């Protein structure tokens, strides 16, 4: 099992969600997030004072998926979330030792 | 013959009753409009401009004035402002509203005195509430209540009496230095704006100002609030005609023209300066224009109102963008930059643009302002401005000192960091879904 964490542009959520389901991902968690990569933020003006906002609104998607689905899931996100512009986001993959369904205590990939 | 005379008398009574009903209807609506400027107008305008942890604390300060000043007005303030006293302060003849009934008073001969009383009360409520913009996010609620209560006795009542009260020093009919202040440029905006500056200077800056970013938490709320202020201002200015006649129309028109010109002026100036016209700039400009036209609203033509709005809008923009930055005072929500500066400029421009064509304030054919060739009126306006500044500075300093040395003015650093909502009132304006269950 692997955990896939993707930080994407808020406007790309629906497209990425659909692409992941299409790729065989059964469950996911969506978080509203703020952050930035290497790009700069933007500037806001209030009565002559200038504020630079460098923590930009993002969406973070988390899903734990079977190893067999990982490549397809990554490709799905890349296809759905990519605009080619700065700020498109990142994908992180990490190993997951165990998954347990709270309802009936299923363990492993069957719990996903 | 006797029957004819009786018929005639009945007719006269019917006409007088009809006029009273019309005037009273307009003045009751105007009174409600002016109260609407406090809540929801000012509450939303100021509430949106602070950080989210201070939204309720800021709103409560205006709410408190609606409660406290109303009670105090009935007990003593109305009498001190409009009783027959000397040239500086009224008397105790109307304490507990003694003698203030449903018959007209000399101040407004076609409406019940209680209508006049309640209309003026709404001015007394919003004036101290305006000051809260300068000390937002850092004054104790208890200190706010005590300071502003005393302020309305020490600063507001004498200024209202001097400008509008019978026998007042600056009263246009019979005062030693007749000043033009149709709806309160001097009484409301200069006193509140200058007192606001003094309070901001006395209290000092908010912790972190100007290093930390303290942007408004909701310009949306501020836009709604400013819109309500603009609408309510028709009651403020056109209501100051004290009847539903043609002067009310004139004041209504000038009010709207000035607000529009100032909103445009501020926005354009900001656009040129920063490259972007902001919503906050547009509403700030509108309020500045409304402040500027307030003293002039019943004395000037619509075209003069456009000039007043444009001049005051750009002037206040310069005060907020450059003067505040240069001197470094923390007038949190620009109460001085808009009301003090706009009120002062408006009072002077009133002396310039006032004309007998609109309001023969000094009698038919007698010149009113510089526009008619009466240079002297500008001097009178300057004296009136100076007196309002003087009373506000001295009165405010004394009161701040007294309150500071007794109950203390400022919240602790920890309370300021936590925000006024929790530290002063034990509640929050916005709950996270996580804790709201």
- Does residue A91 form part of some domain? yes
- Does residue A44 form part of some domain? no
- How far, rounded to the nearest angstrom, does the alpha carbon of residue B247 sit from its chain's CA centroid? 20
Query: Quick one: pLDDT at residue A85?
Result: 86
- Does residue A39 form part of some domain? no
Average pLDDT over residues B198-221: 95
Query: What mean pLDDT is reported for chain B?
Result: 96
B152 close to B81: Cβ distance less than 8 angstroms: no
Helices (H), B132-218: 141-151, 157-164, 191-203
Query: Quick one: pLDDT at residue B246?
Result: 97
Q: For the residues of A67-110, what is the DSSP string, one character each?
A: GGGHHHHHHHHHHHH--SSTT-EEEEEEE----B-TTT--BGGG
Any residues with CB less than 8 A from the CB of B283 and at least 6 apart, and which? Answer: B45, B222, B223, B226, B227, B263
Q: How far apart are CA B289 and CA B166, in angstroms?
A: 29
Contact A50 B274 (CB under 8 A): yes
Contact B215 A47 (CB under 8 A): no
Instruction: Identify the domain containing residue A75 by its residue range.
Output: 2-33+56-111
Q: Which of B48, B269, B278, B326 to mutate to test the interface with A (most CBs of A within 10 A)?
A: B278
- Does residue B415 form part of some domain? no
CATH of the domain at A95: 3.30.70.120
Query: Quick one: pLDDT at residue B435?
Result: 59
**Does pLDDT of B436 surpass 60?**
no
User: For the segment A41-88, what is each residue's pLDDT rounded down to a tens digit?
Assistant: 788 888 878 888 888 889 999 999 999 999 999 999 999 999 988 889
Work out the minimum CA distance from A105 to partner chain B, whole angstroms: 26
Work out the minimum CA distance from B281 to partner chain A, whole angstroms: 6
Contact A48 B280 (CB under 8 A): no
Query: Quick one: pLDDT at residue B110?
Result: 97
Question: Which pair of structure tokens corresponds to residue A19?
Answer: 């692409």
Instruction: Identify the domain containing residue B327 by its residue range.
Output: 50-98+114-409
Contacts of B281 in chain A (CB under 8 A): 47
- Does residue B229 form part of some domain? yes
Q: For the residues of B200-265, what is the DSSP string, one character each?
A: HHHH-PPTTTTTS----S-HHHHHHHHHHHHHHHHHHHHGGGSSSSHHHHHHHHHHHHHHHHHHHH
Binned at pLDDT 50, 70 and 90, residue A89 comes out as very high
- Does residue A104 form part of some domain? yes
Q: Which of A47, A51, A55 to mutate to test the interface with B (most CBs of B within 10 A)?
A: A47
Query: Quick one: pLDDT at residue B19?
Result: 93
User: For the segment B297-329, what is each residue's pLDDT rounded down to a tens digit?
Assistant: 999 999 999 999 999 999 999 999 999 999 999
User: For the segment B371-418, what is each residue's pLDDT rounded down to a tens digit?
Assistant: 999 999 999 999 999 999 999 999 999 999 999 999 999 999 999 999
Q: How far apart are CA B35 and CA B63, in angstroms?
A: 11
CATH of the domain at B180: 1.10.3430.10
B280–A contact, CB cutoff 8 A: yes
Contacts of B284 in chain A (CB under 8 A): 47
CB contacts < 8 Å between A and B, how many? 28
Contacts of A51 in chain B (CB under 8 A): 213, 215
**Does pLDDT of B53 surpass 60?**
yes
Q: For the residues of A6-33, what is the DSSP string, one character each?
A: EEE-GGGHHHHHHHHHHTT----EEEEE
Number of domains, chain A: 1
ipTM higher than 0.90? Answer: no
Number of domains, chain B: 1
Show which of residues 199-228 on chain B sit within 8 Å of chain A, judged by CB atoms: 210, 213, 215-216, 219
Output Rg (C-alpha) for chain B, integer angstroms.
Answer: 22
- Does residue B318 form part of some domain? yes
- Does residue A89 form part of some domain? yes
């Amino acid at each position: 099992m692997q955990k896939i964490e993707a930080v994407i542009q808020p406007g790309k959520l629906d497209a990425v969600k659909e692409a992941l389901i299409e790729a065989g991902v059964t469950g996911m968690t969506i978080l509203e997030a703020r952050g930035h990569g290497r790009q700069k933020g933007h500037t806001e003006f209030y009565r002559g004072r200038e504020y630079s906002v460098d923590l930009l609104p993002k969406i973070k998607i988390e899903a734990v998926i079977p190893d067999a689905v990982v490549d397809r899931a990554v490709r799905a996100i890349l296809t759905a979330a990519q605009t080619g512009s700065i700020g498109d986001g990142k994908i992180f993959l990490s190993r997951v030792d165990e998954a347990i369904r709270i309802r009936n205590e299923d363990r492993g990939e069957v719990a996903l | 013959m006797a029957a004819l005379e009786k018929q005639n008398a009945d007719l006269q009574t019917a006409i007088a009753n009809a006029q009273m009903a019309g005037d009273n209807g307009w003045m009751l609506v105007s009174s409600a409009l002016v109260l609407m400027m406090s809540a929801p107008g000012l509450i939303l305008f100021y509430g949106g401009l602070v950080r989210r942890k201070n939204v309720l604390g800021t709103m409560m300060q205006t709410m408190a004035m609606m409660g406290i000043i109303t009670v105090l007005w009935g007990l003593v303030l109305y009498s001190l402002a409009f009783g027959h006293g000397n040239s500086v302060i009224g008397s105790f003849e109307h304490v507990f509203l003694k003698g203030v009934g449903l018959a007209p008073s000399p101040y407004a001969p076609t409406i019940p005195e209680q209508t006049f009383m309640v209309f003026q009360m709404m001015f007394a409520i919003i004036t101290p509430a305006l000051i809260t913009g300068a000390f937002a996010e850092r004054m104790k609620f208890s200190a706010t209540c005590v300071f502003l209560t005393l302020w309305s006795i020490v600063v507001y009542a004498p200024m209202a009496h001097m400008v509008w009260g019978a026998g007042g020093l600056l009263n246009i009919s019979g005062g030693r230095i007749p000043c033009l202040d149709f709806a309160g440029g001097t009484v409301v905006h200069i006193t509140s704006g200058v007192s606001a500056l003094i309070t901001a200077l006395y209290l000092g800056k908010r912790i972190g100002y100007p290093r930390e970013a303290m942007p408004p938490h909701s310009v949306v709320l501020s836009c709604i609030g400013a819109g309500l202020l603009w609408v309510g201002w028709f009651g403020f200015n056109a209501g100051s005609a004290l009847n539903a006649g043609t002067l009310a129309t004139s004041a209504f028109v000038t009010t709207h023209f000035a607000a529009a010109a100032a909103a445009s002026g501020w926005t354009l100036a900001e656009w040129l300066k920063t490259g972007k016209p902001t919503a906050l700039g547009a509403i700030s400009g509108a309020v500045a224009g409304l402040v500027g036209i307030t003293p002039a609203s019943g004395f000037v033509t619509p075209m003069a109102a456009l000039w007043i709005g444009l001049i005051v809008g750009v002037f206040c923009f310069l005060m907020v963008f450059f003067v505040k930055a240069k001197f470094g005072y923390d007038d949190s929500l620009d109460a001085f930059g808009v009301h003090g500066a706009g009120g002062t400029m408006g009072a002077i421009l009133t002396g310039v643009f006032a004309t007998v064509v609109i309001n023969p304030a000094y009698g038919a054919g007698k010149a009113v302002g510089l526009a008619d060739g009466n240079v002297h009126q500008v001097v009178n306006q300057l004296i009136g401005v100076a007196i309002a500044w003087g009373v506000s500075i001295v009165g405010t300093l004394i009161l701040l000192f007294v309150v500071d040395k007794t109950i203390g003015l400022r919240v602790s650093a920890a309370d300021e960091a936590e925000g006024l909502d929790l530290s002063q009132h034990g509640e929050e304006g916005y709950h996270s879904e996580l804790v709201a269950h």
